[in-house]
Structure 1
């Protein structure tokens, strides 16, 4: 399905693995890269969601305090914010495919070591290794999509974000039964190391077969450095990424309790949250393919924010009567995540620009998102209800809207960066 994302196609750095190869060789290389992208995406969330599902067993087995458990649940966003900025620099020096190979190796190593941890401190330290690998994968995947599939950004972004969501949902659903079937949380967590190896294998082949750095920044001296932090576009997209991630973290962490406070049983409240997750999968698949075919993504920004607004207002006005509708609308609003990843690819002309933008946006964005669940918990404890926390979420949609409106315009990071450097 061909896509036209802009009037002027961004330049493409041809992978060296394809240089001089015949058409069959190029086709095989692209299939290998596509498979590698999807297998990595499948492994970018199970290390996180499986821990959430087994948190009670982890607390008991490792004698974790409630504070330590709270740190463990906040650790992903903190690590994503801390490590995302390193990936573009490493990709510029070694190539994004090598960075992704190293990231998956770190993830596999962490997943192998984590079940062996004898204390909470060791478990958290090894989890940081896993999350550093995931952070590098988060940043690098948009670069690889942008490099190898520049005319199919929407399609590939939709595919890998769908697979990413699928991996998260499967790990959450399977973690407890797998632990019960295999003898405990240690063996249950070890399962994901075996699956993560599958994400490592295609990149061993891709890196081995290429003749030079296949995916890297533009050669030194040809283009000026791109600094997203000095552009309006970079900050706008970072705010959009951060606010949509804040919404998602709060929804996954607190929405079940909001539904339970409306009179639903715990199991029904959990099903309603699973409906939010399930709704996100078709949205993640179709929305980037649609939005990637247009030059302006602002209508989609407005639509997704509007779904959140109606869903949250519904929670306040008729939480029990319209629960299914509110859950569906909130799930649609979560389409802001794949839209943000799509705009990372669309708003840069080169793989180097995409790498810089992806690292900056995700680093700032996840640091913003990390405070969301904590603030909602504080507001709930202070007020004894959910009115103020939900109003807080509505207020946070304002910067999300304005950030998305700026980032959704047809423009390029390199152009803004060049004008800033004059």
Structure 2
């Protein structure tokens, strides 16, 4: 019996496709829309250096916590209910933090907002696997691209929105609307789904629905490998988002140019997001693609350290193209699982531990710089991140799946694909 899923008509899955794309577009808005507005938010709410640093660390820390929690929620509630809960949390957090008057409340509500988006991070890969098992590469390419667009769009338009309304609070609240729209196509899709049996429900003996079998990611080399890979990759990305403008400013570039370099770095996630999901599934050994993007990271790091004020845009382009490793990590959440439940467990575990590891990188980067009085040791840390990333890449290079070695998980995962 072939385990390759038959190609299905798109007509019955339009709501799911729109819902996935819109969710991906909104996932980074809460993270990257606030920093450009801190010049207005900070004096009014009372942000200082400590609270600003705490805000910068909030996203990876909350993503880590809810990355580990969400697979259990998926097991209890199902993918769609977890998605709805994630959107409601994100919308509520964004709307409420737009009206608070102190920094503590703003941080707490930001954590609630990020909890919703952290759940959304985990839910997206298994949703793609559930509704589009026959078009994994194309749909993954679309949603990873929308992640890149959202990462660029929010900081690009946050300040103009604030200027247009003469109020930073309106700009903060506006991004909640983008999240709320996600509920519309999913509502349509859920109505369609109730009219027919769930396509991903595994059957035992062709008759009895079976609940998802427990998968223990702590005992899976694949899960550990993807978590290590994602930690090494995300650590570099968070360092660039946090330290690229101040580093370039200290080297002699003006503030506007330094900010433009960060925008260039962010938008370069777009072309690699389009390429990776279409290219990597065709490779027998995905580590080949990892090595290509690692070479870009290395060129960017070296150029930025050795010659930061000459050919700066070139070094930023190299580092920006290195972000293809993040797209590979998202793709592997489906390529290294057999079932939607396995994909959810793998996504939650790898993002939970991966973001936890990456969260400390920007902080250590600054601490090491202050302790040594220069940037050499801090840039050496990026080399360590590359070694960590390549170690994880080696662990996920083979065809092994997270369900392997999990008893009945593999068999029921295969049944899920057939049914």
Scaled by the length of structure 2, the TM-score of the pair is 0.90
Give the counterpart of 1:305 among 294, 297, 303.
294
Mapped partners of 1:394, 1:50: distance in 2: 29
For residues 120-166 of structure 1, what are the alpha-carbon distances to aligned partners after superposition, in whole Å with 9 as ceiling and x for unaligned?
Answer: 22212211221111011000000011111123222211211111111
For residues 383-407 of structure 1, what are the alpha-carbon distances to aligned partners after superposition, in whole Å with 9 as ceiling and x for unaligned?
Answer: 2221111111112110101111211
8 Å CA contact 2:61–2:359 kept in 1: the answer is yes
The alignment covers a number of residue pairs equal to 403
Give the counterpart of 2:69 among 80, 86, 90.
86
8 Å CA contact 1:229–1:235 kept in 2: the answer is yes
8 Å CA contact 1:153–1:292 kept in 2: the answer is no
Deviates more, 1:82-91 or 1:232-241: 82-91
Mapped partners of 1:106, 1:420: distance in 2: 31
Give the counterpart of 1:233 among 201, 218, 222.
222
1:272 aligned partner: 261
Mapped partners of 1:297, 1:9: distance in 2: 22
Q: Does 1:196 align with 2:185?
A: no
Give the alignment of 1:46-61 within 5 angstroms. 46-61=29-44
8 Å CA contact 2:30–2:94 kept in 1: the answer is yes
Q: Does 1:39 align with 2:22?
A: yes
Mapped partners of 2:260, 2:197: distance in 1: 47
Deviates more, 1:285-294 or 1:129-138: 285-294
Give the counterpart of 1:258 among 209, 225, 247.
247
The CA deviation at 1:214 is 4.2
1:348 aligned partner: 337
1:357 aligned partner: 346
Give the counterpart of 1:159 among 105, 117, 142.
142
Q: SS of the counterpart of 2:98?
A: helix
Gaps of 5+ in 2: 204-208, 411-419
The CA deviation at 1:52 is 1.2
Cα 1:300–1:336 shift into 2, 3 Å: same
Mapped partners of 2:197, 2:21: distance in 1: 21
Q: Does 1:208 align with 2:208?
A: no
Q: Does 1:316 align with 2:305?
A: yes
Q: SS of the counterpart of 1:150?
A: coil
For residues 194-226 of structure 1, what are the alpha-carbon distances to aligned partners after superposition, in whole Å with 9 as ceiling and x for unaligned?
Answer: 222211211122223322884878577577421
The CA deviation at 1:35 is 0.7
Cα 1:244–1:180 shift into 2, 3 Å: same
2:206 aligned partner: none
Gaps of 5+ in 1: 1-7, 15-22
